[in-house]
Amino acid sequence: MTHMKRSLLVFTSGATQIFFALYVLLKIANINIIQLPSEAMFIPGIIIFLASGYLTASYYFGDKKNNSALYDEYTAIRYYKLGAIGYAINGIGIFLIFSTQDYANWSLQTANTMIYQIASFAWLIFGVLLVCFSIGDFKEARNG
């Protein structure tokens, strides 16, 4: 594993998450720019599963010298800070989604829509974080 490889893997995963999260969010808002088959919704999950599996395997079984630079203390702190920002944004977003529901006219349909809103919002933030992580790796690969 190298910084460039990790950057590509994480960017692909992040961009896919953003695309599908935006697709769901727009669909909830009744904006149908494109129409995807429901099976396509498995794509981001499969990509994340494969990418995280590959990253985990390379962490445990990959070259130790490369890994010490890939997972060094500064990178860990940078990821921690970005992750903390992501958690905060997710927390605020989910709070807002909960707060803006019309509980007077609550139904299974509105509950279902809220679940979609929460899931796609969290998904979107997760994707943005992955893209942010990948930009850091790309810079390291380019300048390193």
Write out the residues near other proteins by the rule CB under 8 A. 3, 65, 68-70, 72-75, 77, 136, 139-140, 143-144
In the complex, minimum distance from the CB of residue 144 to other proteins, in angstroms, rounded to a whole number: 4
Of 36 and 76, nearer to other proteins (C-beta) is 76
What is the nearest approach in angstroms of other proteins to the Cβ of residue 57?
21
Q: Which is nearer to other proteins, 2 or 113 (CB)?
A: 2
Query: How would you write the chain as a 3-class SS string?
Result: CCHHHHHHHHHHHHHHHHHHHHHHHHHHCCCCCCCCCHHHHHHHHHHHHHHHHHHHHHHHHCCHHHHHHHCCHHHHHHHHHHHHHHHHHHHHHHHHHHHCCCHHHCCHHHHHHHHHHHHHHHHHHHHHHHHHHHHHHHHHHHHC
Residue number with CB closer to other proteins (69 or 84): 69
Tokens 């490889």, residue? 5
- 67 versus 113: smaller Cβ distance to other proteins: 67
At its nearest, how many Å lie between other proteins and the CB of residue 70?
7
Least spacing, CB of residue 131 vs other proteins, in Å: 18
